[in-house]
Amino acid sequence: MNFDLVIKNACLQDGRRNIDVACSNGIIVAVKPNIEAPATLVVDAKDQLLSPPFVDPHFHMDSTLSLGQPRMNISGTLLEGIALWGELKPKQSVDDIINRAIHYCDLAVAMGIGAIRSHVDVCDNELKSVTAMLEVRRLVAPYLDLQLVAFPQDGLLRDKNAHKNLIRALDLGIDVVGGIPHFERTAQEGTSSIKILCELAAERGLRVDMHCDESDDPNSRHVETLASETLRLGLQGRVAGSHLTSMHSMDNYYVSKLLPLLAEAELHVIPNPLVNIMLQGRHDSYPKRRGQTRVPELKAAGVNVGFGSDCMMDPWYSMGRADMLDVASMGLHVGQLSSRTDMAWCFDAVSYNSAAIMGLQGYGIVEGGQANMVLLQANDPIEAIRLKATRLMVFRQGKLVAQTPASHTKLQLPGRPALVDPAKPLF
C-alpha cells in the first residue's frame, strides 16, 4: 500500500517511543512500530514528540492584532481595554477585521494550533465582527477549525440591542451561544441572562461558552447558576465557563459545595493564564490574588479544564505570540502544578482537554483519526513546555502546512561543542 505520509521514529504524548504513523487521504491509518511501505512523504521524527495540534478554546479574533488602534492602552487595564474596544468598533471595517484575523491564523498555524474557539462581539447593529468572522471561518477551513461564539460583549440585558443581535448572529451561522453575566447591571440580571442564553442553546441544540465570573469579587457566583441551568436543561458536556477567576477569592466552604456541582453538570472550565493574571488582582495591595481559577482543585474534582490564550496584541493584552506552550507554562507556574503528572497534564490542557471542550471529532494520533499533527523539538510533553519547543513541522489532513528550522546555536568556545541543541537530553 502506498501512503501519503509516514512519520517514523516518533515519541507520542502517552510516552510510547519509536512509533511510526502512516496517513492516507487525510486519515491516520496505522500507529505502530516499523511501518515499511512507500509514501509520498517520509519524515524521520528522530525520537521527537509528535502530538495532535494545539487547541485554543478561548480567543477574541475580531479584535486581535489591533494594538494601538485607535490608541494604545497605556495602563494595560481591563477597563481601559473595554473603553478602547468601544472606540475601535465603529471605526473599523469588515475588511480590517478579516485581514487582522487571517494574519493571526497564519501565526497560529505556524505555532501548531489546529483549532480555535473565538468569541465574536454582537453588540454592533451592523454585525461587522460577525460578518467578518464568518468569512474568516470559510477562508481558513482547509487548514484550521474555527468555532465562533456569539458574544454580547456589552451584556445581553445591559445593551438594548444585544439579545436581538445575538439571535441574528446565530441565524447567520455562528456556532456557540456566549454571555457575560458578571458584566450585567445587577447580579439578578446576570442570573437572568444565563437562563435566557442556556434556554436558547437548548432550543437550538448548540453549545454554550459563558464569560463567567471574570472578576476578583468573591460574590460573583454566576458559575453556580450556569451549572444549575446546565443540569436543568440537559446540556451536560456542552457548556463551558470561561475564566472563573472569582473562584480564587471565594471561601473554601462555598467552593466545597461548588466543585461537586460543576462536576455533576460536566461543565468545562477555561482559564486563560496569560491574560487572567495580568488583568486580575488590580484592586489588591498585598496579598495579591493570582488571577487564575482553582485549577488543581477543579482537576481533582474531575472537571475538564482547558487553557486558552484569550488575546494577542489587542485592546486588552499587548503581549502574546500564538504560543499555546507559553499558555501551558504560565498555567503550570501560577497554578503550582509542580508534580511530574501535573506538568504533563498541562500539555493535555492545551490539546486533548480543549479538543473535548470544542467537541472536535477525530482528534488525536489514533487509527481512524484526522491526520492533523505537530512535530516538536522536544522528547516529551514536559520538555516541550519547558523549552517552548520549536514546531518543526505542522501537518493538516496529512499534508505539510508549516515548517520551522530546528533551534540550534553555534558556539565558538575552546573545548566546547560547536553546536548546542536545547532539546538534547543531558544524560
> What cell does 114 get?
489546529
Q: Which of 189, 203, 214, 229 is catalytic?
A: 214
Q: Cα(398)–Cα(110) distance, rounded to whole angstroms?
A: 16
CA 133, distance to chain mean position in Å, is 17
| Number of residues that this document lists for the chain | 427
> What cell does 189 get?
440580571
Q: Cα(332)–Cα(154) distance, rounded to whole angstroms?
A: 32
Cis peptide before 70 (omega within 30 of 0): yes
Q: Give the three-state DSSP class for 198.
A: helix
214 catalytic residue (yes or no): yes
Q: Is the Cβ–Cβ distance between 194 and 226 less than 8 Å?
A: yes
Q: Cα(265)–Cα(262) distance, rounded to whole angstroms?
A: 5
Q: Which residue has the cell 514528540?
A: 49
Q: How far is residue 420 from each of residues 120, 397, 403, 411, measured CA to CA in Å? A: 44, 33, 20, 7
Q: Give the three-state DSSP class for 393.
A: strand
- Residue 240 CB neighbour total at 10 angstroms: 27
In this structure, which amino acid lies at residue 51?
A: S
Q: Cα(155)–Cα(191) distance, rounded to whole angstroms?
A: 12
On the 0-12 / 13-18 / 19+ scale of CB atoms within 10 A, 208 is: buried
Q: Is the Cβ–Cβ distance between 102 and 138 less than 8 Å?
A: no
> Where in the sequence numbering do the catalytic residues fall?
214
